[in-house]
């Protein structure tokens, strides 16, 4: 099932300097096959797409507790040249008081929601 956004919002990241890039990290042939399948699945669902951008950040493939693979981006170099956002996400401590009388909580895997 291909996911389609229910909005037309575009986000632009302001940076100082030229585009950053990195080489892809090496992974074992067995893990490469798992990663390839995971990316094909994410492309099929519309979660990610191929790109020819001048920008790239390294990806880390992490095994999850259930045996599946998780893909994490390492954006430290990008963050170092990014102009800070004027509208930061609220801090957890600033809104936890709203949870004081709540009794049902859940977790969700945003990658497979």
Q: Domain with 62 in it: what CATH number?
A: 3.10.10.10
pTM assigned to the model: 0.58
Domain presence at residue 63:
yes
Q: Where are the beta strands (DSSP E) in the chain?
A: 59-63, 69-73
The residues, any chain, with a CB within 8 Å of residue 11's CB and separated by 6 or more, are: none
Q: What Å distances lie between residue 18 and 7, 11, 12, 84, 94, CA to CA? A: 30, 19, 15, 17, 36
Domain presence at residue 34:
yes
Q: What is the pLDDT of residue 62?
A: 84
Q: What is the pLDDT of residue 27?
A: 84
For 2, counting Cβ atoms within 10 Å of its Cβ (0-12 exposed, 13-18 middle, 19+ buried), the class is exposed
Domain presence at residue 9:
no
Domain presence at residue 12:
no
Range of the domain at 89: 29-99
Domain presence at residue 90:
yes
Domain presence at residue 111:
no
Domain presence at residue 39:
yes
Q: What is the pLDDT of residue 111?
A: 62
Domain presence at residue 53:
yes
Q: What is the pLDDT of residue 112?
A: 59
Number of structural domains found in the chain: 1
Q: What is the pLDDT of residue 96?
A: 78
Q: What is the pLDDT of residue 81?
A: 92
- Check the CA dihedral 77-82-88-93 and report its sign: positive
61 φ, ψ to 5°?
A: -100, 120
Segments of the chain scoring below 50 in pLDDT: none
């Amino acid at each position: 099932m291909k996911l389609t956004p229910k909005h037309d919002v575009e986000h632009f990241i302001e940076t100082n300097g030229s585009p950053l890039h990195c080489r892809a990290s090496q992974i074992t042939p067995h893990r490469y096959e798992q990663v390839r399948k995971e990316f094909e699945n994410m492309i099929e669902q519309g979660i990610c797409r191929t790109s020819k951008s001048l920008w790239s950040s390294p990806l880390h493939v992490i095994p999850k507790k259930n045996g599946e693979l998780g893909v994490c981006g390492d954006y430290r170099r990008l963050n170092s040249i990014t102009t800070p956002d004027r509208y930061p996400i609220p801090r957890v401590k600033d809104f936890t008081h709203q949870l004081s009388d709540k009794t049902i909580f859940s977790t969700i895997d945003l990658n497979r929601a």
